[in-house]
Amino acid sequence: MLQTSLPDDEHKFPYGGLPKKNFIFAKTMETHFFITGTSRGIGRALAERLVRNPFHHVVGIARHPAFQHSRYTHITADLTEVDKLPELAEKLFTEKPIAKKLVLINNAGTLSEIGYVGEIAETRMIASFRVNMIAPALLCSLFIRKYRHLQIPKTIINVSSGAGKNPYDGWATYCASKAGLDMFSRCVQIEQDIRDLGFRIFSVAPGVVDTQMQQDIRQANTEGFSRIERFRLLKENRELSTPEEVAEKFIHLLDNEEQYPEVILDLRGI
């Protein structure tokens, strides 16, 4: 079930307390962000950082509300329910947004069940592919379809992982889905270069970040993941990036896209 939560002042002051003509001018200077997975981790840190800018508006998509802010709108949705994504897109992507730029950030991801293929539940494998690969691919398609003729800059960032390039035992579905997301992003950028509709596509590995996913990894069964000690040491040695540090690097990328012509990026090199 999809639910939309608007900031309170949007109901009280349709033009944000400004005269209508001034409100419309201000809105044309805004960048609109659509971010999945804003309830915690990188997604939440990114949303909280972006709304500090008075010319940013963020629409967050997650199963649970993240926070309240006058420039944040929350949409409750479960990205494993991929058949409902067209309905979600109708709520998410308005027909003619008044903005100077549009950004879709497919941040939501799941490691799902850590363990070996043939020993983990197939239902968890399906959920992993849905959240990590199918949902972002469909949201990319729906975003491009809706805004292909809009003559403003449009950027898509798919949050990938180094696991999409390096195999890990116990992470088969996660590695495969992130590898698929990388290739999908490269193909879509080639298509957009041919169509020349103003879209930039990135697939970005954020590095090893101190999130709930890392906590789940450290608590995994050693029989289902042979490299668990390495990840425990990363935490003990304080080698994990914070979500806030990663959010700042994403913002740097968005502010300096012309410096990064490649589709596949690693934030540790930014």
Mean pLDDT of all residues in 53-61: 96
**Would you list the DSSP string of the chain?**
--EEE--HHHHH-TTTTS-HHHHHHHHHT-EEEEEE-TTSHHHHHHHHHHTTSTTEEEEEEESS-----TTEEEEE--TT-GGGHHHHHHHHS-SS---SEEEEEE------S-S-TTTS-HHHHHHHHIIIIIHHHHHHHHHHHHHTT--S-EEEEEE--GGGTS--TT-HHHHHHHHHHHHHHHHHHHHHHHHTSSEEEEEEE--SB-SHHHHHHHTS-GGG-TTHHHHHHHHHTT-PBPHHHHHHHHHHHHHTGGG---SEEEGGG-
CB 158 within 8 A of CB 109: no
Asked whether residue 150 is assigned to any structural domain, the reply reads yes
pLDDT in tens, 195-251: 999 999 999 999 999 999 998 899 888 888 999 999 999 999 999 999 999 999 999
pLDDT in tens, 127-145: 999 999 999 999 999 999 9
Beta bridge partners of 97: none
Asked whether residue 220 is assigned to any structural domain, the reply reads no
CA angle, residues 18, 251, 34, in degrees to nearest 5: 60
User: Over 70: is that where the pLDDT of 49 sits?
Assistant: yes
Asked whether residue 198 is assigned to any structural domain, the reply reads yes
Is the torsion defined by CA of 187, 182, 108, 73 positive or negative?
negative
Asked whether residue 236 is assigned to any structural domain, the reply reads no
The tally of domains found in the chain comes to 1
Catalytic residue (choose from 15, 72, 168, 174): 174
| Predicted local confidence at residue 27, as pLDDT | 53
Q: Compute the CA torsion angle 139, 103, 260, 138 (nearest 10 deg).
A: 0
User: Over 70: is that where the pLDDT of 26 sits?
Assistant: no
Mean pLDDT of all residues in 53-75: 94
User: Over 70: is that where the pLDDT of 46 sits?
Assistant: yes
Asked whether residue 235 is assigned to any structural domain, the reply reads no
Mean pLDDT of all residues in 182-203: 98
| Residue 26 φ then ψ, to 5° | -60, -40
Q: Model confidence at 4, in pLDDT bands (50, 70, 90)?
A: very low
**Residue 214 and residue 106: Cα distance in Å, rounded?**
19
Q: What is the CATH number of the domain that holds 126?
A: 3.40.50.720
What's the pTM? 0.88
| Predicted local confidence at residue 66, as pLDDT | 80
| Predicted local confidence at residue 96, as pLDDT | 67
Residue 174 is among the residues annotated as catalytic for this protein: yes
Asked whether residue 89 is assigned to any structural domain, the reply reads yes
Asked whether residue 55 is assigned to any structural domain, the reply reads yes
- For the chain, the average pLDDT equals 89
User: Over 50: is that where the pLDDT of 12 sits?
Assistant: no
Cα→Cα distances 76→4, 26, 109, Å:
7, 27, 16
Q: What is the residue range of 42's domain?
A: 3-208+242-269
SS (H, E, C) 213-238: HHHHHHCCCHHHCCCHHHHHHHHHCC
Q: Model confidence at 146, in pLDDT bands (50, 70, 90)?
A: very high
* Residues above pLDDT 70, as percent of the chain: 89
Mean pLDDT of all residues in 166-175: 96
